[in-house]
Every structure is written in structure tokens, then in C-alpha cells.
Amino acid sequence: MRKLAGIALTALKSNFTKLGRPYKLNFAITYSCQSKCITCNIWKIRPTGELTTEEIREFAKKNNYFKWVGITGGEPFLRGDIVEIVRAFRENCKGLYMLTMPTNSLCNPSSVESRMLQIMQFGIPRVVITVSLDGYRELHDKIRGVTGNFDRAMHIYGMLKGMKKEYPGLDAVFGYTLSKFNKGQFEQTYVEVKKIFPEVTYNDFHINLAQTSENYYANSGDDIRAGSGVAAELQKISAGRRRTLDPMYLVENSFLKNLAKFAETGESPIRCRSLDASVFVDGWGNVYPSIMWNHKIGNIRDAGYDLVPLLGNGEARKVREEILAGREPAQWTSCESYQILLGRIKDLV
């Protein structure tokens, strides 16, 4: 409860003042990936020289104020040291409340289970694993470029849900990215999943829109956006969600409503909180305002693994000036928007 109060107080404080240090870290620990997605080009990267375990430990030690760590990839479970990476943040960030992480479900299931069991031993109050799912069986496998990926996603999801009986703080949701390749296909996907997991509801799906990013997805210029008509699909999904007492229900609802606005206008519905509430660090230690904003402010290796000097440097000041002038890139992704909404209570009620 103390850690929940800590992140809640920080989010509340962010409604009235700048925080000075971000409370959420978006951290791509590797760009290695077994998928061959037609919406993303990360899998085409063959990364070398990524941050080592020791470097990440030093980074966690020097920046021990994070309350929410969002680990991503690539495929995070391809890092053999994933448990040690999580341990580093858990041991150093005493106020850590939430760990979020996606998976493409293509790693060995027994290895994923073993590592998750070890991670849950750290006692992080809330751990959410997003199982990527972009369609019913044939469609998902086509978009992801891997035959059998749908069935593996079902297996991993079932395994994670089974673990929740012992670890109530663990949850798994399906991560559904709407693009031109699956527009209008959510309902069929939902029906197919419900045949396997009858208890599933709309609340068990986290929805994103396919977007382009030069510094993360490496898909700048690709024709992947869902286009016209997708706002109506998003509104239908939002309307189908069941009301719960979980505060994150309000955040997700507001996220979806604003995602529909973004789909219609192509403009960010709310000004971003980059470098204030959150920051993005890639697998080589490069620091950016967000996964969608290709403005490098520095590298943690050059700053002794301490973010604070980078957050106050000239490039960071340029980013803040762009935000104040309303010139940040149009973006609305869960990596950035949740902390924006937590800093705007009026948008949640």
C-alpha cells in the first residue's frame, strides 16, 4: 500500500507542478526479436553492443527514483539476464510499484514461466505482461510473420493467468495493435479468443494504434496506419468494457477515448509529458523523450549512467521548448499517455 500511495502521490503532484525527475522509465532492453511483423521493422535490426547486465545495474543504482518501469524490446525474454535486470530495478528503486512488459510469446514457454516465477519473488506490487495478439489465428500469424504464433500466444496467456492464482499482483492482457491489416477484425479476434478462454472480456484487451517511429519501430514512412473508420471501432471497444474498481480502468478508458480522437484528427489529444513524467532509453543507452520522438538528448554511457545531467542539458531544454510551443510529434501510445492522464485527473472523471 505504501508503494501505491507513493506513485499516486507523485501522479497527483504532477497535476500541479513539474516533477524534475521522471517517475516512469520506458526501457527497450534489446532490439532482438523473432517476429517478422509487417507493422514494425525492429526485427530487421541485428543489435550488437547493447547495454550489459552490469551497465544496467549501474543505471538502476544511479537512477533509483522510478516508480514504474516499462521494459520492452524487441522481445524482452530474449535477454538471458531478464531476471537480473528486473532485480536491479527492484533492489534500487525502493518506491517501485509497477513493472510492465510485452511478449511475442515466441520464447520457450517453460523458460518464460521459470523467469516469471523468479521475477514474482521480488515482490513488485503490480506486474502486467502484455501478450501481443493482432488478430484471429490466420490473421495474427500473417501480421506477425510466424506460423503458429497465435497458438503460442494462447499458451503463454493461459500460463500467466494460471500464475495469478498464486501471485495476485500479476496480470496478463492481450496487446492488440490496430493497423490497416486488421482494421474491422477485432470482434472476430475476440470471439476466437473467447472460445479458448470463456472468461475473457473486452477489459482483457489493451488496444493501440499502429504508428510510425524513426527511433524505435524503424518504420518511418511505412504505410501501416488504420486510416478512416477506425475511430468507430475504437469507440465500440471502449463501450464494451465493463466498469471495475481498478483505478487503471479509468486510465485505460480515457486512453481509448483519446485514441479515437487521435485516429480522427492525427493530432495529439493532450500535450505530452516527455522528460518530466517519463523518458525512453534504448538498448544502447540512448535517451529520447519518447519512443515516438527522434530527438536524442544523450547517452547514459557518456553520463556515467546518470540521467539527471542529460535531463538538464541543452538538447533536453530544446525538447521542453518544443513541448511548450506545441511542436512535439503527434503521438498517442500507452508508453507515453498513461502518465499524461495520471497527471490530469480532470480527464479521468
What pLDDT, on the 0 to 100 scale, is given for residue 200? Answer: 98
What pLDDT, on the 0 to 100 scale, is given for residue 66? Answer: 97
Q: Please state, in angstroms and rounded to a whole number, the distance separating the CA atoms of residues 22 and 348.
A: 21
Q: Which amino acid is at 58?
A: E
Which residues does residue 171 pair with via DSSP β-bridges, in sequence order? 128
For residues 255 and 339, is the Cβ–Cβ distance under 8 A? no
What pLDDT, on the 0 to 100 scale, is given for residue 339? Answer: 83
C-alpha cell at 324: 511548450
Q: Please state, in angstroms and rounded to a whole number, the distance separating the CA atoms of residues 203 and 298.
A: 38
What pLDDT, on the 0 to 100 scale, is given for residue 99? Answer: 98
What pLDDT, on the 0 to 100 scale, is given for residue 248? Answer: 80
Which residues does residue 101 pair with via DSSP β-bridges, in sequence order? 129
Q: Which amino acid is at 149?
A: N
What pLDDT, on the 0 to 100 scale, is given for residue 13? Answer: 62
What pLDDT, on the 0 to 100 scale, is given for residue 1? Answer: 53
Map 237-295 to HEC letters: HHHCCCCCCCHHHHHHHHHHHHHHHHHHHCCCCCCCCECCCEEEECCCCEEECECCECC
Name the stretches of the chain with pLDDT < 50: 5
What pLDDT, on the 0 to 100 scale, is given for residue 246? Answer: 82
- Cis bond before residue 158 (omega within 30° of 0): no
What pLDDT, on the 0 to 100 scale, is given for residue 249? Answer: 84
Q: Please state, in angstroms and rounded to a whole number, the distance separating the CA atoms of residues 308 and 272.
A: 20
What pLDDT, on the 0 to 100 scale, is given for residue 336? Answer: 85
CA-based max dimension of the chain = 54
For residues 227 and 178, is the Cβ–Cβ distance under 8 A? no
**Pairing status of strand 278-281 against strand 286-288:** antiparallel
Which residues does residue 28 pair with via DSSP β-bridges, in sequence order? 72
C-alpha cell at 212: 510510425
What pLDDT, on the 0 to 100 scale, is given for residue 250? Answer: 86
Q: Please state, in angstroms and rounded to a whole number, the distance separating the CA atoms of residues 127 and 100.
A: 6
Q: Please state, in angstroms and rounded to a whole number, the distance separating the CA atoms of residues 116 and 127.
A: 10
Instruction: Write down the architecture of domain 2-347 according to CATH.
Output: Alpha-Beta Barrel (3.20)
Domain ranges of the chain: 2-347
